[in-house]
Amino acid sequence: MRHSPLRSFCFLPLLLAMLATAPLVAGEPVVIVNLQSGVEKLTHDEVTSLFMGRQKRLPSGIVALPVEQAQPVATRARFYQLLVKKDLPDINAYWARLFFSGQAQPPRQVNSAAEVLELVAGNKGAIGVVDASLVDRRVRVVLDFGR
Amino acid sequence: MGIRTSKFEIPSNAPMCLSNGPVMERPVSTNLKVWVALVGLPVMLTAQEPDSRWRLSGFGTLGLASNSTDLVEYSRELSQPKGTTRRLNAKLDSRLGLQVNVNLSEDFSFVGQVVSKYRYDGTFTPDLSWAFLSYTPTSGAQVRVGRLGWDVFQLADTRNVGYSNLWARPPLDFYGPLQVSSMDGGDIAWSTPLGEGQSLRLKVSAGQVWEKIPTSFPGEDQELKGGKLLGSLAEFQGENLNFRVAYARFRTTRDFITPVASLREGVYAFALLLNDPLLARQADAMVFKDQVFHYYSAGLNWQQGPLRIDGVAARVNSGALFSTLNAGYASIGYRVEAVVPYVLASRIATSNPTPYVGALPGLGPQGAAVAEGIQRFLTNSNADQKTVALGLRWDFHPKAALKIQVDRVSADSKATMLWPHTSPGWDGKATLASVVLDFVF
């Protein structure tokens, strides 16, 4: 799952081509959890339930802390397209409804993939989404969105 | 739908009603103080950051609307004592809400919300709309105790959060008659996944009403406090489809305001005098205390790609006196980038019995006045109208949306439940143009 920096260099021309058309052809987003979460795998459904506020705990029973990368906006948009095939304005309106009727709290927002990794690495219940190429040994991949 | 509040309104034009005089505005300073306190609150809270236990957020709407006629006032809910005429009106839709979330532990949290909007007494005095303790015993369950929104229909508990809705405002013909918006009590919700992106949510609730609504008698607000609410709903959530059925009931514990109660006693007196049992039954129909209203509703929301369709139907029955209220709406929207043009059609009709006045009109001025009072009461208890609206929602910012909407209402001008004031000569038509800016923060 993890890509070493060296390997990336070998594909420099390809990488540059990808960057040119980013973010549409960004790398594979994967769902990550904390190593102590007690979770090895999650289904797409389970991830949807957690990120849409319908379920509040990981399957292991630990209270979930969904974390999303709000910036750049295209990254967030791509995540919700993959998750529930919805546009951001619809997601924002959905959360306004749930949040202001006291049903659930939206995912914690951070502004970079590094912050997602940090929060997931430091909180047992945290669950987040980052590009596969950024995953390190502090976290565990439980779902590959590309598959 | 709480109640067909309209009944309370009837008195507005009743003979004993001397005027539809304006409700006294509270001194501005009172509002100012409340606002200073509310604005001060966030400052205090942010000072305690950065730990994430506290969260202060809010929502609001700035709206402007204008009606095509001065013969009828357009209001958005029964709690608004005055409506919109041709003059530009900012009170119809404008509102501001502040919410504080406090995570007390992993399983317990507190939510408090105040909303300032144009309310029954003509002021923007903030009301505590939500204040509850939430407990999450399992992954999909939630138990809440305190002041809670009453979600009798689809969007009933988020009517103030304009940003969460597609349209400029929830359709008047459907949400307009609902005068109860929240309750003091508790609810239990349970959600379970069904596989393949689907889930089922069940909820039951019970509580007491704390609100009141205006009448056209100056200083006479209809008290609803103490009314008993019970509710239940089942909601299916699929990948594209959301389907919801609900049943709720409301038992009133208060009588009508004095002017209506005295009108009723007058009708009873005449029934006795004339020995007319039908007239006595007419008087029975003007009792409000211990009425039970039953609310049935079913609705769906379908979102696939750029297309979104909403449809909701509801029926309200009351056990004894007032008959049935039927209402529904349907909406189609199509997203083009950040803009969603939409069409919204809604309809409401009541089927109250024809008023019975017997020999009253021939009994001199007093009898005639009581007969007219009965007629007005029924007129104001009835609604029979439909609306077609065209609009656009533009999400120009991640936390704000601009909407423009034009509503064309066709009403039976003799069924005035939803109109705070109508003038003679109104043909039942009205066109409302609105611009609203909805935001969250």
DSSP string covering A6-61: HHHHHTHHHHHHHHHTTTTT---EEEEEETTSS-S---HHHHHHHHTTS--B-TTS
Give the model's pLDDT for residue B276. 93
Report B:147-166 residues touching A (Cβ under 8 A).
148-149, 151, 155, 157-158, 160-161, 163-166
Chain-chain contact of A105 with B55 (C-beta, under 8 angstroms)? yes
How close, in Å, is residue B343 to chain A by CA atoms? Answer: 17
Report the complex ipTM: 0.86
Which pLDDT does position B322 carry in this prediction?
65
What's the pLDDT score for residue B43? 44
Domain range list for chain A: 27-144
**What pLDDT, on the 0 to 100 scale, is given for residue B321?**
57
* Domain A27-144: homologous superfamily in CATH: Periplasmic binding protein-like II (3.40.190.10)
Closest by CA position to B237, among listed A57, A86, A18, A131: A86
Tell whether the torsion through CA atoms of B422, B265, B352 and B322 is positive or negative: positive
B395 and A57: CB-CB below 8 Å?
no
Q: With contacts defined as CB-CB under 8 Å, which chain B residues touch A94?
A: 164
For residue A4, what pLDDT is reported? Answer: 46
Out of A49, A73, A97, closest to residue B161 by CB: A97
Picking from A44, A62, A95, A103 by the largest number of B CB atoms within 10 A of its own CB, the best residue to mutate is A103
Which residue out of A49, A75, A87, A100 would a mutagenesis test of the B interface target, given it has the greatest number of B Cβ atoms within 10 Å?
A100
Q: What is the residue-level pLDDT of chain B in tens, covering all 441 positions?
A: 333 333 333 333 333 332 333 333 344 444 544 444 444 444 444 443 345 789 999 999 999 999 999 999 999 998 899 999 999 999 999 999 999 999 999 899 999 999 999 998 999 999 999 999 999 999 999 999 999 999 999 999 999 999 999 999 999 999 998 889 999 999 999 999 998 889 999 999 999 999 988 887 778 888 999 999 999 999 999 989 999 999 999 999 999 999 889 999 999 999 999 999 999 988 888 888 999 999 999 999 999 999 999 999 999 998 655 678 999 999 999 999 999 999 999 999 998 777 888 888 888 898 999 999 988 888 888 899 999 999 999 999 999 999 999 999 999 998 888 998 899 999 999 999 999 999 999
Q: What residues does B312 pair with on adjacent strands?
A: B299, B329
- Chain-centre distance for alpha carbon B289: 20
User: What are chain B's domains?
Assistant: 6-254+285-353+374-440 (2.40.160.10)
HSE-CB of B315 using CA atoms within 13 angstroms: 6
Amino acid at position A110, single letter? V
Contacts of B149 in chain A (CB under 8 A): 101-102
Residues of chain A with pLDDT under 50: 1-10, 15, 18-25
